[in-house]
Structure 1
Amino acid sequence: MNGKILVLTALESELDKSRAPAEIEVIFTGVGKINTTIATLQAVQAMQPKLVVNYGTAGKLNTKLNGLVEVSDVIQRDMNAEPLAPRGRTPFAPDLDRLVSGQRGVICGSGDSFVTSTDPWLVANNVDIVDMELFAIAQVCLRHGIRWRAFKFITDDANDFAHEHWTANVANGQDLFWDAMKGVKV
């Protein structure tokens, strides 16, 4: 597959891979940063893509957002090793705190929890949306010198009803994503 675009998404329920054009390979990573890291490493090593695109669902903290958004920056919302390092920072690895796609867009906070309430730390760090996979994908790409982009479909308001809204909306962003991919080039 050398030179093609690799699309990574957590679940089959989020994206119909049969709709992918010939130059795009779709891999499902599973949920969370560990599953995603393993799947991303395997896919990157096997396929050696020029560009990795993450598509997935997200909860929104920024009430102005709806539909499909592109991510500019991603941070780890659940890395908390205080007092060794401030929340969001991996101790002894300060160069990997905030990963940047090079695109204009929103700030995503990745973590291994489903967000159902307001977190003042996220607000203070201007996090617009939350997911469970992007930081892992971006970090693997950084370590392998591969460009990455991410598109997230807003499914919920990251509140008490998030799980119900996510379940109802998980597959609703596919058309918007495949339309956006028409403009993405290696």
Structure 2
Amino acid sequence: MSGNILVLTAIDDELDKARAPDGVEVIYTGVGKVNAASAATLALLVLRPRLVVNYGTAGKIHKMHNGLVEVAHVIQRDMMAMPLAPRGRTPFSPEIDRLSSGHDGVICGTGDSFVTAADPWLVENNVDIVDMELYAIAHVCQRHSMPWRAFKFITDEADDNAADHWQDNVKDGEELFWDAMKPLLAQTAQ
């Protein structure tokens, strides 16, 4: 696997690993930041990829986003250690609180909760979408000097209908994701 693309996704309902083209390894991390960090660390150490890509589903905060979006920046929406640090910042940590992929796209807020209600903090901090794994994956990549990218398929509006809409739409982004991967595969083949 060394030198190829590693795709990390939470569950098999989001992405069928049997569809992965040559040069791509798909690993299911499980749901949430702890599972994602653990799986990402092990996968990086064992597989030594050239690039890590996170694919998953997301709820949208800003109504203008639909379909498949690429993530430029990710923050922790559920790091709430006030008064030791403002929301979103890990206290006593020299780590950066906003991780950047180096590519254009949206701002994702990661947290260990499924968002089903409005949260003014998300709007105030220009968060476009919410997920449950990306910050952990990006953090692991940063610690290991590994480039990362992330693509999220918008399944719901992060409101009181989010769970039903997620269930209805969880599989709908797979084709769009594999299409988005074609240019990345061409780049890594060079």
What TM bracket, shorter-length normalisation?
over 0.9
In structure 2, the residue matched to 1:49 is 49
1:177 corresponds in structure 2 to: 177
Partner of 2:115: 115
CA distance in 1, matches of 2:50, 2:146: 6
Give runs of aligned pairs for residues 1-186 of structure 1, distance below 5 A.
1-184=1-184, 185-186=187-188
What runs of 5+ residues in structure 1 fail to find an aligned partner? none
TM-score with structure 1 length normalisation? Answer: 0.99
Give the number of aligned pairs: 186
Give the whole-Å Cα distance in 1 for the aligned partners of 2:96 and 2:42. 21
In structure 1, what residue type is equivalent to 2:125?
N
Q: What letter matches 1:142 in structure 2?
A: Q
Unaligned runs of 5+ in 2: none
Distance 2:176 2:92 in 1: 39
Task: Give the whole-Å Cα distance in 1 for the aligned partners of 2:51 and 2:104.
Answer: 17
Aligned-residue identity in percent: 66
Task: Name the SS of the counterpart of 2:43 in structure 1.
Answer: helix
Distance in 2 (alpha carbons) for counterparts of 1:46 and 1:94: 27
Matched to 1:18, the amino acid is A
Large movers: runs of 4+ above 2 Å: none
Find the aligned partners of 1:96 and 1:30 in 2 and give their Cα distance: 24
TM-score (normalised: structure 2): 0.97
Separation (CA, whole Å) in 2 of partners of 1:8 and 1:42? 12
**Offset at 1:94?**
4.4
CA distance in 1, matches of 2:93, 2:110: 17
